[in-house]
Amino acid sequence: MAEQLLDSVRDIAEGQIDFEGQRLADQLSTLSLSICGAISFIVGCLLQDIKLAVYICLSGTVLAFVGIIPPWPFFNRHPVKWLPAGTGLQ
């Protein structure tokens, strides 16, 4: 029981994502950081408050990191099937 729990925690901590997951993470990071940058720019210009603009941009960056940096399971939907060891060309 404890070993199964430890194995599941170890799988989560290893950070396995596939190539499609890497592409998705790149697109999500670009989109979310662009949106928070545009919103902070617009709010900063309209209210003439650079401090608020910086806070909006930093909070958007933190939210993007929380959503993208951990290896969420949807980043590993298409795992790569590797050949077993020792079955290569000889």
pLDDT in tens, 69-86: 888 888 889 888 888 887
Residue-range definition of the domain harbouring residue 50: 19-69
Residue 7 lies in a domain: no
Question: For residue 90, is it within any domain?
Answer: no
pLDDT in tens, 1-44: 788 888 777 766 677 889 999 999 999 999 999 999 999 999 99
Burial 7-26 (b: 16+ CB within 10 A, else e): eeeeeeeeeebeeebeebbe
Q: Is residue 59 part of a domain?
A: yes
- Split into its structural domains, the chain has a count of 1
Residue 54 lies in a domain: yes
For tokens 């950081």, name the residue.
33
Angstrom CA distances, 66 to 7, 8, 24, 38, stand at 23, 20, 15, 20
- Is residue 51 included in any domain, yes or no? yes
